[in-house]
C-alpha cells in the first residue's frame, strides 16, 4: 500500500505554503531570451549568433523547488539546466527531466566510478578531468577559467599548461567563467574579466578546440547587455523575477510564501512579546500568532522590523521571531478569523514584505532569503 495513502497524507493541508507562478516563470524566461537577442545587445566578438538562456537551478532552484521549476521549464528548449552538485543532477535525472544538465560545482572524482551518467561537467582541476576521462568519457566538459574573480577556475596564466595536459579523449563542449560584478558594467574588474575571457577564447582556439558553448554572464551581466563573445548565458535570480539592478526590467517575482493565522490575543499596555521581551506594547493591542519562523525561512533579522499582509493590511512583526513562531500586530486589521491566509513574502515587489524589500531590511541580498526557505515547506505550481 502507498505509505502516503496509509498515513492520509494525500489529504494533508499544510499551514505554510510556497506558491510558484508558472506564468511568471515562463514570462521571465521569454523576456530574458528576447533581451539577450535584441538589437541592443552588445556583441564584442564574432562568435555570437543567437544567445541561449541556461536556467540556473542550483540550491533548490534558489529556494523555489528544484523539480517543480525544472518541470515547468523542461520544454522551453534550454541548452542546459545548471546545477551545483551531482546530488542535484541525480534528482533531476530521477524526475525524468529531458533538458541536458551541467554540473558547475566540484565533484569528488570517486563518485564518477559508479556508472555512466548523462551529465556535463565544469572542470578546473586536473584530477576531475582525468576522472571524467577514465570513467565518464562520453560526457561533455566545460573548461572553467578564473578570469580574476579568484574563486574556482583555471587561472588564465595556467590555462595553456592545463590544456596541454588535458586528456585527449575529453569532449570539450564549453568554455566558461563567472563575473564578480556583472551589475557594474564600468567597474574595472568587470572590464578586466571580459578582456581575460576573450584571451581565454583565443588560447583555447590555439589548442585546436572549438567549444560549442561559450558562457560568462549571470543575471546581472545579462541585464547589463554585456556579451564578451558568448552564445549562452546562465540566468538565476532574474529568472525568478528579481532584478539585481534597481530597474525591474518588467521581471515578475515567481514565489509567494503564505501561512495561516492560528491564534489571536489581546495585550495590555507594557506587556512584552517573545524571547527576551524585545517588544513592549505602548498601548492595548491585538496580536496574531503565525506557525512559521526562522526554521521555515522567516529571517530572524526581521524581528521587530519586518512585515506580513493580512486582509490586504500590512502588519508589523513584533517581538523576536522564534524557530517556528512569528507574532504580528493585527490591531488595525478588521474581520480577523482563525485559519485565514497570511502573506509572509509577497510576490508584488512594491509590497513591504516582498523578498527584495525584506532583504533590504535585513541588509542582505535576496538570494539569502530565498535559499533559506525550508525544503520541507510544501511548494505548488499555480
The string of pLDDT tens digits covering residues 242-273 is 988 766 678 999 999 999 999 999 999 999 99
Q: In this predicted structure, what is the pLDDT of residue 45?
A: 35
Q: In this predicted structure, what is the pLDDT of residue 44?
A: 35
Q: Select from 378, 343, 340 the least CA-distant residue to 358.
A: 343
Q: Cα(197)–Cα(335) distance, rounded to whole angstroms?
A: 60
Q: In this predicted structure, what is the pLDDT of residue 34?
A: 83
Whether 180 and 211 have beta carbons less than 8 Å apart is answered as: no
Q: Is the pLDDT of residue 6 over 70?
A: no
3-state secondary structure of 178: coil
The fold of 22-240 is TIM Barrel (3.20.20)
275 classed as catalytic: yes
Residue range 255-381, CATH number: 2.40.37.10
Question: CA 282 from chain center: how many Å?
Answer: 40
307 classed as catalytic: no
Q: Cα(63)–Cα(381) distance, rounded to whole angstroms?
A: 14
Q: In this predicted structure, what is the pLDDT of residue 46?
A: 36
Please give the mean pLDDT across all residues of the chain.
Answer: 92
Residues 96, 86, 131: CA angle, nearest 5 degrees: 120
Q: In this predicted structure, what is the pLDDT of residue 42?
A: 43
**What average pLDDT score do residues 296-310 get?**
98
Percent of the chain with pLDDT over 90: 81
Helices of type H across 207-264:
219-223
Q: Cα(192)–Cα(194) distance, rounded to whole angstroms?
A: 5
Domain ranges (residues) in the chain: 22-240, 255-381
pLDDT in tens, 34-69: 867 664 444 333 344 588 999 999 999 999 999 999
Which residue is catalytic, options 29, 52, 58, 345? 58
Q: Is the pLDDT of residue 137 over 50?
A: yes
Question: CA 151 from chain center: how many Å?
Answer: 19
Q: Is the pLDDT of residue 4 over 50?
A: yes
Helices of type H across the chain:
3-6, 22-36, 58-62, 66-73, 86-94, 126-135, 159-165, 188-206, 219-223, 355-362, 366-371
Q: Select from 379, 310, 292 the least CA-distant residue to 351.
A: 310
pLDDT in tens, 278-299: 999 999 999 999 999 999 999 9
Q: In this predicted structure, what is the pLDDT of residue 126?
A: 96
**Residue reference for cell 552564445:** 231
Q: In this predicted structure, what is the pLDDT of residue 48?
A: 40
Which residue is catalytic, options 30, 87, 165, 275? 275
More confident residue, 180 or 267: 267
Q: Is the pLDDT of residue 123 over 60?
A: yes
Q: In this predicted structure, what is the pLDDT of residue 287?
A: 98
Q: In this predicted structure, what is the pLDDT of residue 222?
A: 80
Percent helix, strand, coil in the chain, to 5, is 30, 25, 45
Q: Select from 238, 232, 236, 271 the least CA-distant residue to 253.
A: 238
Whether 212 and 56 have beta carbons less than 8 Å apart is answered as: no
Q: Is the pLDDT of residue 130 over 50?
A: yes
pLDDT in tens, 73-95: 999 999 999 999 999 999 999 99
Amino acid at each position: 500500500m502507498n505509505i502516503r495513502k496509509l498515513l492520509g497524507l494525500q489529504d494533508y493541508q499544510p499551514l505554510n505554503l510556497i506558491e510558484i507562478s508558472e506564468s511568471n516563470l515562463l514570462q521571465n524566461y521569454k523576456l530574458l531570451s528576447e533581451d539577450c537577442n535584441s538589437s541592443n545587445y552588445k556583441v564584442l566578438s564574432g562568435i555570437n549568433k543567437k544567445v541561449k538562456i541556461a536556467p540556473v537551478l542550483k540550491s533548490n532552484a534558489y529556494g523555489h523547488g528544484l523539480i517543480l521549476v525544472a518541470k515547468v521549464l523542461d520544454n522551453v528548449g534550454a541548452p542546459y539546466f545548471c546545477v551545483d552538485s551531482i546530488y542535484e543532477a541525480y534528482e533531476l535525472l530521477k524526475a525524468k527531466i529531458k533538458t541536458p544538465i551541467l554540473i558547475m560545482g566540484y565533484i569528488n572524482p570517486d563518485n564518477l566510478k559508479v556508472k555512466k551518467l548523462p551529465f556535463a561537467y565544469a572542470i578546473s582541476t586536473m584530477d576531475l578531468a582525468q576522472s571524467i576521462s577514465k570513467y565518464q568519457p562520453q560526457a561533455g566538459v566545460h573548461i572553467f577559467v578564473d578570469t580574476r574573480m579568484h574563486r574556482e577556475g583555471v587561472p588564465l596564466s595556467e590555462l595553456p599548461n592545463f590544456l596541454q595536459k588535458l586528456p585527449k579523449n575529453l569532449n570539450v563542449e564549453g568554455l566558461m567563467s563567472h563575473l564578480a560584478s556583472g551589475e557594474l558594467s564600468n567597474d574595472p574588474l568587470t572590464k578586466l574579466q571580459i578582456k581575460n575571457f576573450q584571451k581565454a577564447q583565443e588560447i583555447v582556439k590555439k589548442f585546436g578546440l572549438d567549444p560549442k558553448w561559450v558562457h560568462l554572464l549571470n543575471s546581472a551581466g545579462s541585464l547589463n547587455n554585456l556579451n564578451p563573445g558568448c552564445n549562452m548565458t546562465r540566468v538565476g535570480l532574474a529568472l525568478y523575477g528579481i532584478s539585481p539592478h534597481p530597474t525591474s526590467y518588467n521581471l515578475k517575482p515567481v514565489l509567494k510564501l503564505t501561512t495561516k493565522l492560528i491564534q489571536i490575543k489581546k495585550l495590555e499596555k507594557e506587556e512584552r512579546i517573545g524571547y527576551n521581551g524585545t517588544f513592549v506594547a505602548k498601548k492595548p493591542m491585538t496580536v496574531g500568532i503565525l506557525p512559521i519562523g526562522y526554521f521555515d525561512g522567516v529571517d530572524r533579522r526581521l524581528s521587530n522590523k519586518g512585515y506580513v499582509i493580512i486582509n490586504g493590511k500590512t502588519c508589523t512583526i513584533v517581538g523576536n521571531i522564534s524557530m517556528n513562531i512569528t507574532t504580528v500586530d493585527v490591531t488595525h486589521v478588521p474581520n480577523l478569523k482563525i485559519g485565514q491566509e497570511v502573506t509572509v513574502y509577497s510576490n508584488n515587489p512594491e509590497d513591504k514584505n516582498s523578498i527584495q524589500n525584506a532583504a533590504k531590511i535585513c541588509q542582505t541580498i535576496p538570494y539569502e532569503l530565498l535559499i533559506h526557505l525550508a525544503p520541507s515547506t510544501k511548494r505548488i505550481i499555480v
